[in-house]
Structure 1
């Protein structure tokens, strides 16, 4: 009987630790989502300032590539790495022009001399992308911790009833 109580105590202690981990991960996810929101709104504000400086026709959808545009590749790509316990970890990798000659600098779509606000907007949108990848990784960790909590609760109820 004493051994069953010790097992139950260990399970409860592990559940407490996992619950705290889940709370920390939830807080981290909330912080990342707030950072993403702030970066996106800041990037949009800098984009609006650029549009004001250059004019409505110089910063618009007309400068974006169309179906008739030459082929190009993305400057950043998300890569998937198999990590602990079969959980995927996502990373951003910057594609250098030497690796892929089709990589274009999106700022060049708006001319050669672009306002500094357009550079700031690009940096903020890139930061939002990095935080988005981090948020996905935190969500995966949280999902794993919640699954562990659920499994331990089942074990606890089986041990408590026997």
Structure 2
């Protein structure tokens, strides 16, 4: 009987720790999503200011590449990787490509002209920051899901121990 109470204490302590971890991960995820939202709003605001300064036809979908445009590479790419430290869990990583590495990389701000308002550069930086925070939020969400699975497994083990 003493062994069963010892096992129950270990399970309860682990459950407590995992629950606290889950709560801190939830808080971190909420903060990251708020940061994404604020960065997106700021980027949209700067984009609207740039459109106001340059004119509504100078910053519009007409400047975006079409199917007939020359090929180019993305400036930022998100890669999924299985992390051995996290026992096979997927983690995501954002990689920014520098122009010196690949000549097919174009700065998207240049689609709108050579002399663009500073607001367009600010918008680009805010959207980049939002992308970085979004990738971090996905990683935190993945950790949270794994923590919840562990909690459920421990609850089942606890129920089995108490049923004895």
Q: TM class by shorter-chain length?
A: over 0.9
Q: CA deviation at 1:161?
A: 0.2
Partner of 2:101: 99
Give the TM-score, by structure 1 length: 0.98
Q: State the alpha-carbon separation in 2 of the partners of residues 80 and 98 from structure 1.
A: 24
Partner of 1:60: 60
Q: CA deviation at 1:81?
A: 2.1
Partner of 1:12: 12
- Which structure 2 residue ranges, 5 or more long, are not aligned? none
Give the TM-score, by structure 2 length: 0.97
Q: CA deviation at 1:101?
A: 1.6
Q: State the alpha-carbon separation in 1 of the partners of residues 77 and 103 from structure 2.
A: 15
Q: What do residues 79-137 of structure 1 show as CA deviations (whole Å, max 9, x unaligned)?
A: 22211111011111111223322110000001001101000000000000000000000
Partner of 2:135: 133
Partner of 1:77: 77
1:153 to 152, 155, 160: 155
Confirm whether residue 42 of structure 1 aligns to residue 42 of structure 2.
Answer: yes
Q: CA deviation at 1:152?
A: 0.3
Q: Which runs of 4+ in 1 moved over 6 A?
A: none
